[in-house]
Amino acid sequence: GNSVTQMEGPVTLSEEAFLTINCTYTATGYPSLFWYVQYPGEGLQLLLKATKADDKGSNKGFEATYRKETTSFHLEKGSVQVSDSAVYFCALSEAGNNRKLIWGLGTSLAVNP
Amino acid sequence: EAQVTQNPRYLITVTGKKLTVTCSQNMNHEYMSWYRQDPGLGLRQIYYSMNVEVTDKGDVPEGYKVSRKEKRNFPLILESPSPNQTSLYFCASSLRSGGGAISSYNEQFFGPGTRLTVL
């Protein structure tokens, strides 16, 4: 079946460091891919998305490129801030079923001043 | 303000005592869903609803019920809670996309979560 695997955390970085959170997926067809973010004590928010191969999603300085050849959707940010401390979830929606999301387990990020 | 609200935010209860967690959205969304979040297991879908009076099971529906009598509300009911239902629960909603083999995705909006402890 379809699945999402993302790197285990926690990830701890200093402010202004480069961030990469790896995400790979297994899916049939052409799923859409997403990154959601969960700030402490809050619900999840959509951070960015990509709906077809080679699409790049971007938001708030974060980027991720849909790589079909490597089945990956890695999240990157060039310079993290303390306010980026959160849990990040990679997810996919199955082709033809755009409301069922398959979730990764989440990666906790802590950014120190 | 467009939002999904859940109540209560925190609840401690005892085994077997029926409870309801309410969920309400003010965005006129057709689609609503309940998830539970557990350490090491991520988010798992409990039930979802495509529209009023249309509900279906997600991946972990056992021990839960839902209803969708109005478009804005989607309560989660635990008839006889057990300790293994201790979890963080999230409600989510989204627009229902248009037709076609591969429809454009509509962002899911999440509530703030309900932390439930069953003793």
pLDDT in tens, B29-39: 999 999 999 98
Query: Stretch A39-62: mean pLDDT, rounded?
Result: 92
Least confidently predicted of A2-16, A71-85, B97-111: B97-111
Rg (CA), chain A: 13
CB contact under 8 A, A100 and B43: no
Preferred mutation among A36, A37, A99 to probe B, highest tally of B CBs within 10 A: A99
Determine the pLDDT at residue A78. Answer: 97
Which of B31, B102, B113 is the closest to A96 by Cβ? B102
Average pLDDT, chain A: 92
Which of A43, A104, A106 is the closest to B113 by Cβ? A43
Measured CA to CA in angstroms, residue B46 lies from A87, A100, B32, B110 at distances of 21, 11, 11, 14
Size of interface A-B (CB pairs under 8 A): 60
Q: Is the pLDDT of residue B86 over 60?
A: yes
pLDDT tens per residue across span B38-83: 988 889 999 999 899 999 999 999 999 999 999 999 999 999 999 9
The tokens 């798992």 sit on which residue? B44
Query: Stretch A16-35: mean pLDDT, rounded?
Result: 93
CB contact under 8 A, B110 and A101: no
Determine the pLDDT at residue B97. Answer: 60
Please tell me the distance in Å from A15's CA to the nearest CA on chain B. 27
CB contact under 8 A, A99 and B33: yes
Q: Is the pLDDT of residue B24 over 90?
A: yes
- State how far the Cα of A5 lies from the Cα of A22, in Å rounded to an integer: 8
The answer to whether B47 touches B64, Cβ cutoff 8 Å, is yes
Phi and psi for B41 in degrees, rounded to 5? -115, -10
Which residue type occupies B67?
S
Chain B residue set in contact with A, beta carbons under 8 Å: 4, 31, 33, 40-45, 48, 50, 58, 90, 92, 94, 96-97, 101-108, 110-113
More confident residue, A102 or B87: B87
Preferred mutation among B36, B37, B43 to probe A, highest tally of A CBs within 10 A: B43
CB contact under 8 A, A44 and B33: no
